[in-house]
Structure 1
Amino acid sequence: MRVLTDILEEGAAKFGDRTAIVFGEQSLTYRELLDAVLRLTARLQKLGLQPGDKIAFLDENSLEFPVVVFAAAMAGGVFVPVNFRFGADEIAYVVNDARPGLLLVSATYRPVADRARSDFADDVKVLDVPSVAALLAASDAPQPDRPTIEPDSPAMVMYTSGTTGFPKGALLSHGAYIANINAIAAAGELAADDRVMVSLPMFHNGGLIAVLMPTLSLGALAVIMPRGFEPDAVLAVVERHSISATMWVPTMLSMLVNSDAIGSRDVSSLKKIWYGSSPIAPGLLEQVRAAFDADLYQFYGMTETGMTSVLTPDDHRLHPQGTGRQMDPAELRLVDDNGDDAPVGEVGELLSRQTPLGMTGYLGNDDETGKTVVDGWIHTGDMARNLGDGYFVIVDRKKDMIISGAENIYPREIEIALAAHPDVAEVAVFGIPDAVYGEAVCAAVVPAQGAALQPDDLVAWSAARLASYKKPKRVLLLDELPKNAAGKVLKHALKAPFWRVEKRAI
């Protein structure tokens, strides 16, 4: 089994003069990428980086990002990406939790890193990351030491989305990442002649492990997009670089298909659209099909497991509202509260295992690791319905289930019903306190542009499609839903005002 640096070195050996990465007007061949990584590795070792040491990096998507990732791996270090959207307190939390010896930071984020520095528990070196241009222009090019890296060596501490509180650092090995990278490339039918857009942030699995690494592992072209997601700019890059494959989250897809630019750009080169991170509304799926002549692939996974299932283009026709079925090397189970397999048609918690196992554990958090990894199975906390023949559909997070009276209510079912309303752009359903039933259903809705939507309209719409106990008791009309960097709705932020008053929380 390979390790992460093998992707880099095999690429340089096989495809040396082929362009590996484009970022704006800058580009690197596979050979230049390796050269930049070797030079940065030597500099990091000169600063004292030893095998097993952690090195954190704070930056948005950039040409430097993959160079730092590979340099950390080549030195035998453990890479810790930091969310560039974090404020000083959040940066300090991650640094104090991961305890890296070195924090590299781009010039853009140096001010916030300096503000966070006073709260660092340890004496962490905070240094500016050298530009790729400066690395390659330097007259000296010392060769770095090359420690032995094994597949079970730790590769990264990737922090979870933190949708319910402080993020946890999931420690994953080189072998776990390589297995997932290979699986994604195969399931997504990626090829060496693909031209792949990387628009998801690379401090998360989505941008780094699910898109960039599979692209480089095949010798394909990665076109990295900068921070922000502007539909016209994105579609212009698709046209300019003849992008053939990409991964977007449903929010991005909605922005694209509702943009005026969608009809003015040539997007005929785009043949593979991967999506994931959050459920997609049936209406949006049809809009995407109408706007792009592309095959659709839905991936499901989490920070702790990597991608573990796929809904292929053929599967979209068989199970249009499904999430997918397991993809090698992952093995998935749906279990009830007793740990027994959930029968077809029933809901159970989704468990995942594979060899090598996704995460080794949560960094410095044995209690949470013990709750999550049981007998070799990672408990995802996602509830899914068994559709038969290995297919499943996520119905909700286990913690988001609403218990109203004696009924278990899965918000996702209500969200699907409300999302079908023509005047609804986005919706999130959650539980709020109820004096009689314990919890009641509340829906936060973003109306479609120009729609004159009223709460009573949505209650009536729900009543015609759902059991009476599932219809919302309250509807909030909002300009936007709170989301994290991965595009996932922060339901705890929606719930918090209601449960603060109640002084209790589910």
Structure 2
Amino acid sequence: MFFADQFQELQRSQPDHIAITFEGQDTSYNELMEHSWQVANGLLGLGIERQDRIAHLAKNSTEFFEIFIGASASAFATAGVNWRLAGPEILQILNSTENSTLFVGKDFYPIIEAIESDLKFIKNIIAIDGDHDHWLDYKTWRDQQSNQRPDVSLEGDDDILQLYTSGTTGLPKGVQLTNQGYVNAFNAFVDNDILGVDANAHFINVMPQFLVGGINLTIVPLLRGARINLM
């Protein structure tokens, strides 16, 4: 059972349980997964290739989880980009990993606009917060898609996440995490009761979603059916 399969089981077993609370808005497991399946179908509709990198440049939001889970369900890998970097550094990351699609939050529209003409591989830019002249509006694009899980064969060695080193001794380097890697990590957390969370737990996250801690220390509680209070 891979990453997307575990979330599908949570959608079935506790659909009305709150998965994420962010800025006063609650999202149930069923809502989270319907939106994630919509993202998965939307990405497949863009015609990009299996295992393409889907870049995410935005501050914390519920939409990140929709993008991450949806991308994994359609055999793409989410690449979290450090929004503390300057434009040229972001350009280097996006070009070096040949990302085909970029999801960008409104705080970073000006940065991407400034480097857009130099992006070598980006075919699609999706504005998470909408309100952009020529990029796809995230919610409009998402809500046009089917909310049923797409029929995509997944493999254990499929990359589902790519994060980047700090670049203190050179340029940032991509580090991949696979479907099977997530299964192994999740089982280790559960078997050793590392976080001590279950479906009744509330877990607060303040770390940005381009950090391994900001992602994995929220994904593990979610996979346990807990509630994330996202800051």
Q: TM-score range by the shorter chain?
A: 0.7 to 0.9
Listed as ranges, the matches of 1:68-217 within 5 Å are 68-129=67-128, 134=139, 138=143, 141=146, 143=148, 145-185=150-190, 186-209=193-216, 211-217=217-223
For residue 137 of structure 1, report the CA deviation from its aligned partner.
9.3
Cα gap change, 1:144/1:111 in structure 2, threshold over 3 Å: closer, same or farther?
farther
Deviation at 1:54, TM superposition (A): 1.4
After TM superposition, list the pairs within 5 Å mapping 1:278-293 onto structure 2: none
Q: State how far apart, in whole Å, the 2-side matches of 1:32 and 1:133 are.
A: 16
Summarize the Cα distance change of 1:15–1:38 in structure 2 as closer, same or farther, 3 Å threshold: same
Asked if the contact 1:58/1:83 (under 8 Å) is kept, the reply is yes
**2:133 aligned partner:** none
Q: Percent identity?
A: 26
The answer (yes or no) to whether the contact 1:156–1:172 under 8 Å persists in 2 is yes
Displacement after TM superposition at 1:138 (Å)? 3.9
Equivalences for 1:30-41 in 2 at 5 Å?
30-41=29-40
Is 1:28 aligned to 2:27, yes or no? yes
Name the counterpart of 1:221: 227
Q: Secondary structure at the match of 1:118?
A: helix
Equivalent pair of 1:12/1:31 in contact (CA under 8 Å): yes
What is the CA–CA distance in structure 2 between the aligned matches of 1:17 and 1:133, rounded to whole Å? 24
With over 3 angstroms needed to count, the CA separation of the structure-2 counterparts of 1:151 and 1:116, relative to structure 1, is same
Q: Which residue pairs with 1:18 in the alignment? A: 17
Structure 2 unaligned residues grouped into runs of 5+: 131-136
Q: Which amino acid aligns with 1:94?
A: I
Deviations 1:172-228 (A, max 9, x none): 21111222233234222222211000111111110101x111111110000110xxx
| Matched-pair contact (CA < 8 Å) for 1:50–1:75 | no
* Counterpart Cα distance in 1 of 2:113 and 2:153: 34
Deviation at 1:110, TM superposition (A): 1.4
Letter in 2 for 1:208: I
How many residue pairs get aligned? The number is 223
Describe the shift of the 1:141–1:89 C-alpha distance in structure 2 as closer, same or farther (beyond 3 A): same
Whether contact under 8 Å (2:41, 2:145) holds in the other structure is no
Q: More strand by proportion, 1 or 2?
A: 1
* Superposition deviation, residue 144 in structure 1: 5.7
Higher helix share: 2
CA distance in 1 between partners of 2:187 and 2:106 (Å): 34
CA distance in 2, matches of 1:101, 1:126: 9
Closer, same or farther: CA 135–146 of 1 in aligned 2, 3 Å: farther
Cα separation, 2, equivalents of 1:51 and 1:139: 22
Distance in 1 (CA, whole Å) between partners of 2:138 and 2:58 is 17
CA distance in 1: counterparts of 2:119 and 2:142, whole angstroms: 34
CA distance in 2, matches of 1:129, 1:147: 25
- What residue identity is the alignment partner of 1:79? T
The Cα offsets for residues 292-326 of structure 1, whole Å up to 9 and x where unpaired, read as xxxxxxxxxxxxxxxxxxxxxxxxxxxxxxxxxxx
Conserved? CA contact 2:205–2:214, under 8 Å:
yes
Q: Deviations over 1:113-158 (max 9, x none)?
A: 1212233233543221367994699476364632111222111221
Distance change (3 Å), C-alpha of 1:103 and 1:192: same
Deviation at 1:7, TM superposition (A): 2.8
User: In 1, Cα distance between the equivalents of 2:153 and 2:159?
Assistant: 12
Structure 1 residue runs without a partner (length 5+)? 226-506
SS in structure 2 of the partner of residue 96 of structure 1: helix
TM-score after normalising by structure 1: 0.42
The aligned runs of 1:383-422 (5 Å cut-off) are none
Determine if contact 2:162/2:176 at 8 Å carries over to the other structure: yes
Q: How does 1:203-282 map to 2 (within 5 A)?
A: 203-209=210-216, 211-225=217-231
Structure-2-length-normalised TM-score: 0.87
| 2:134 counterpart residue number | none
Q: Structure 1's 142 and 14: CA in aligned 2 closer, same or farther, altered over 3 A?
A: closer
The alpha carbon displacement at 1:91 in A equals 0.8
Q: Is the 8 A contact 1:41 1:144 kept in 2?
A: yes
Flag the structure with more relative contact order, 1 or 2, with Cα contacts below 8 A and sequence separation at least 6. 2
Query: Partners in 2 of 1:174 and 1:217 — Cα distance?
Result: 14
